[in-house]
A and B are shown apart, each in its own frame.
Chain A
Amino acid sequence: MAAFLDMGGYAAFVWPAWILSAVVVASIAMTSVRRLKSLERELAEVENGRGERP
């Protein structure tokens, strides 16, 4: 396990590359889905609440 984490002495390069990739991919997915959900909510409000809001 320690040997695996050490990556043959290149841990400082291999792990940041993979972790950054995971972070970037996950955050694209999350922000995209969140934006869609919030827009769906907003649109539903506007469509249903037509004329009610000032």
Chain B
Amino acid sequence: MNWHRYASPANFKRLSDRLMPWTAGGAAVFLAIGVWTGLFASPADYQQGETVRIMYVHVPAAWMSMFVYANLAVAGAAALVWRHPLAEVAGRAIAPVGAAFTFLCLVTGSLWGKPMWGTWWVWDARLTSVLILFFVYLAYMALNSAFDEPERGARASAVLALVGAINLPIIKFSVDWWNTLHQPASITRLDAPAVDPSMLVPLFAMAVGFTFFFLAVALVRIRAELLERRLEALRHARVAGSTIVERA
């Protein structure tokens, strides 16, 4: 498949125009289902009462924080190996979205931990590794815009994204490898998931809604980054052109 085709702003615009109704529409539909079932049409937990409703934003936000990071790492690899401009632009475009999901995961988790565990925060392996993920996102964003030439920023931050990817399995398995205050996974167990079907509906609706939301926002942001680069190039050309005119 010739991905370079989509790197041109015009082609990417056509692609994103075609996908936009589906991604934005999917986000609206699934988030609406998620909010309705999560807040109104689902039962309270036998132990945790109504606080279980925090799960419907906390867990999907946590999944997104890792999913977006996986995308960031793949984009980083593509940017380093193939020097693909779309990959460079994509990483820069999605990093703030991933950081926002990680922030949501941390804050909602804190709001859940206080009434249930009895603390806003503990330095256990799970919570600490997710906090590190958040800082890696911030470092990525800082490094990406630390250079005058966008290509150098993209390359340096792509290296960081790949190094930071080591954190993903650590986050995932931290609750199994070490004893933590955070409970083990409920959904990705090999036997049946430990969440009642009535609670799985809002959980998955929110997760699918967040995913569509991410895709829609990524399309918009990648387009903006492509325009920005084009604008920069045009301005450079004009400045160069005008100096030539002045010299003449």
Contact = CB atoms under 8 A, between A and B. Distances in A.
Query: Are chains A and B touching directly in their complex (CB below 8 angstroms)?
Result: yes
Interface of A: 4, 7-10, 13-14, 16-18, 20-21, 24-25, 28-29, 32-33, 35-36, 39-40, 42-43, 46-47, 50
A10 B227 contact: no
B221 interface: yes
B217 A32 contact: yes
Contact of B49 (A8, A17, A33): A8
Interface residues of B, number: 40
Given A18-B39, A46-B231, A50-B238, A8 B58 contact: no
A7 B51 CA distance: 8
Nearest to B218: A32
A21 B57 contact: yes
Contact of A10 (B31, B38, B49, B61): B49
Contact of A46 (B31, B38, B112, B234): B234
Interface of B: 31, 35, 38-40, 44, 49-51, 53-54, 57-58, 61, 96-97, 100, 103-104, 107-108, 111-112, 114-115, 210, 213, 216-217, 220-221, 223-224, 227-228, 230-231, 234-235, 238
Given A35-B221, A36-B227, A43-B227, 4 more contacts: A10-B115, A17-B112, A25-B210, A46-B234
SS class, residues of chain B in contact with chain A: helix
B61 A21 contact: yes
A21 B231 contact: no
Contacts of A36: 220-221, 223-224, 227
B176 to A, nearest CB: 26
A36 B39 CA distance: 33
Contacts of B111: 13-14, 16-17
